[in-house]
Amino acid sequence: MEENNKRTDVNELGEFGVIEHLTRNFALNNPDSIKGIGDDAAVIDIGDEALLISTDMLVEGIHFDAAYTPLKHLGYKSVVVNVSDIYAMNAIPTQITYSIAISNRYSVEALDDLYAGVLKACEMYGVDLVGGDTTSSPKGLSISVTAIGRAKKEQVVYRSGAKPGDLICVTGYLGAAYLGLQILEREKQIYLEHPTVQPDLDNAAYLVESILKPEARKDTIQYFHKNNLKPTSMIDISDGLASELHHIAKQSNVGLFIEEVNLPIHQETQLKAISFNIDPLTCALHGGEDYELLFTVDSKDVEKVKYMPDVYIIGDIVEKKEGLKLHSSGGKIHNLTAQGWKHF
Ligand code: ADP
Ligand code: MG
């Protein structure tokens, strides 16, 4: 045993530091374990194909606030965030297991609502619910979902395959979920102070839906497969674009260059950010929970991605020594720092 009288706060290491620390003594010993910790999903060799496995937890008070999160949406989202990690490996999700810890505040009817959302997501993404676990909790609701998927072994895309000269692409718009959350938080504060005031969510449907009911990019993966396009690296955007870019750069051992003017920010995100006095760029770079895909492609595939629906080319991969840089619309070059979402 290690010496036990030192107490290290988990905040000293941060989320990724804690994961690295706890798993430092684990090696992959079975020959069929192709990829373990460190990508969106683990990859297991099952012959011609690979099996993909990913797990994510959602905890009340940390990942969702029961005051403004409809349980049906929560059920839907809890599946979406997991299948998103399977798509991020260029694979197709096929099954989920679903585990819950519930306090007695949750009635059977409330859990029916949660599972109505789970069912809807299972139908939407074509996955079967094949198991799970149910237990009580002293407080609140915790959800743990495992998603399983499949891909041809040579089709699996890792975070580590980007190389200088590749183009950096994202699907959809960035930053909307973060602002949706700010809107809901603000309405909650108003409600707590003035319980008779009705929430003002007019014109906020797009932003609020982005946080409460995101979708995973099934369409993007289907497009890749149909058009024989294989990204060189990929990750889903759960912690914010900047944080995910750092993962790609670190694991691919490269640098990168992002053009601010090319970042896809929806007009409603622009307008709401300005009304909240937040820089829209901050929302796009550091707002989390977009569940869009960030991927890189070889420059020979530029024509294929140029005409892809809903895909934006935001920069290039460069040599590692050039670092991670953002070319701002004002013409300056900044270091791209990662903030991400801190849950500790
Ligand atoms: P994502 O954001 O794609 O869901 P995470 O950042 O949660 O991925 O996790 C990063 C990697 O660390 C993943 O490979 C995940 O499986 C692994 N991981 C996270 N927590 C633990 C843990 N407590 N023990 C072992 N592996 C973990
Ligand atoms: Mg992920």
The DSSP result for 116-173, as a single string, is HHHHHHHHHHT-EEEEEEEEE-SSSEEEEEEEEEEEEGGG---TT---TTPEEEEES-
Is the model's pLDDT at 341 over the cut of 80?
no
Rounded Cα distance, 53 and 70, in Å: 28
The residues pairing with 234 across neighbouring beta strands, listed in sequence order, are: 295
> Relative to the alpha carbon of 235, which ligand is closest?
2
pLDDT digits 0-9 by tens, 230-263: 999 999 999 999 999 999 999 999 999 999 999 9
pLDDT at 340: 54
Residue 111's region, left for phi above 0, alpha for psi from -120 to 50, else beta, is: alpha
Is the model's pLDDT at 81 over the cut of 60?
yes
The residues pairing with 332 across neighbouring beta strands, listed in sequence order, are: none
Sign of CA dihedral 144, 148, 149, 152: positive
* Å from CA of 163 to ligand 1 middle: 24
Rounded Cα distance, 281 and 174, in Å: 9
Element (H, E) at 325: strand 324-327
pLDDT at 190: 86
pLDDT at 319: 98
Ligand 1 atom nearest 54 alpha carbon: 16
Choosing among 3.30.70.20, 3.90.650.10, 3.90.850.10, 3.30.1330.40, the CATH entry for 167-335 is 3.90.650.10
Ligand 1 atom nearest 15 alpha carbon: 6
Is the model's pLDDT at 4 over the cut of 90?
no
Quickly state the pLDDT bin for 3 (edges 50, 70, 90).
Answer: low
Rounded Cα distance, 113 and 119, in Å: 10
Name residue 41's amino acid: A
Confirm if 93 and 47 have CB atoms less than 8 A apart: no
* Å from CA of 238 to ligand 2 middle: 6
Please provide the size of the chain in residues.
344
pLDDT at 137: 96
The phi and psi torsions of 2 (rounded to 5 degrees) equal -75, 160
Name which residue sits closest to atom 3 of ligand 1, judged by CA: 40
Give ion ligand 2 contacts, CB < 5 A.
40, 85, 236
Give residues (CB < 6 A) around ligand 1. Answer: 19, 22-23, 37-40, 56, 85, 238
Quickly state the pLDDT bin for 192 (edges 50, 70, 90).
Answer: confident
Closest to 97 (Cα-Cα) out of 55, 158, 141:
55
pLDDT at 124: 98
Name which residue sits closest to atom 7 of ligand 1, judged by CA: 56
* Å from CA of 331 to ligand 2 middle: 32
Is the model's pLDDT at 181 over the cut of 80?
yes
The residues pairing with 259 across neighbouring beta strands, listed in sequence order, are: 327
Query: Which is more confidently placed, 344 or 132?
Result: 132
* Å from CA of 85 to ligand 2 middle: 5
The arithmetic mean of pLDDT across residues 53-61, rounded, is 97
Name which residue sits closest to atom 16 of ligand 1, judged by CA: 37
End-to-end CA distance of the chain: 26
> Relative to the alpha carbon of 17, which ligand is closest?
1
Alpha helices (H) in the chain, listed in sequence order: 10-22, 71-87, 108-125, 176-193, 205-212, 218-226, 241-252, 267-275, 280-286, 302-306
The phi and psi torsions of 143 (rounded to 5 degrees) equal -125, 135
Quickly state the pLDDT bin for 277 (edges 50, 70, 90).
Answer: very high
Residues spanned by CATH 3.30.1330.10 within the chain? Answer: 10-155
For the record, the structure tokens of 297 come out as 């492609």
Ligand 1 atom nearest 239 alpha carbon: 2
DSSP 89: T
The arithmetic mean of pLDDT across residues 134-155, rounded, is 97
Quickly state the pLDDT bin for 33 (edges 50, 70, 90).
Answer: very high
Quickly state the pLDDT bin for 193 (edges 50, 70, 90).
Answer: confident
Ligand 1 atom nearest 39 alpha carbon: 14
What's the mean per-residue pLDDT of the chain? 94
Domain 10-155 belongs in CATH node 4.10.910.10: no
HSE of 216 in the Cβ direction (CA atoms, 13 Å)? 30
DSSP 292: -
Is the model's pLDDT at 41 over the cut of 60?
yes
Return the exposure string of 100-135: e unless at least 16 CB atoms fall within 10 Å of the residue's CB, then b. Answer: bbbeeebeeeebebbbebbebbbeebebebeeeeee
Quickly state the pLDDT bin for 29 (edges 50, 70, 90).
Answer: very high
Ligand 1 atom nearest 22 alpha carbon: 24
Query: What SS3 class is residue 92?
Result: strand
The residue behind tokens 């430092």 is 24
Closest to 286 (Cα-Cα) out of 313, 265, 272, 305:
265
Quickly state the pLDDT bin for 269 (edges 50, 70, 90).
Answer: very high
Who contacts 79 (Cβ-Cβ below 8 Å, separation ≥6)? Answer: 96, 98, 117, 118, 121, 122, 125, 127, 145, 147
pLDDT at 2: 55
Ligand 1: residue of 18, 22, 37, 63 to mutate (most ligand atoms within 8 A of CB) is: 37
Read off the pTM: 0.95
The arithmetic mean of pLDDT across residues 273-280, rounded, is 95
Residues spanned by CATH 3.90.650.10 within the chain? Answer: 167-335
Query: Which is more confidently placed, 307 or 321?
Result: 321
The arithmetic mean of pLDDT across residues 189-218, rounded, is 87
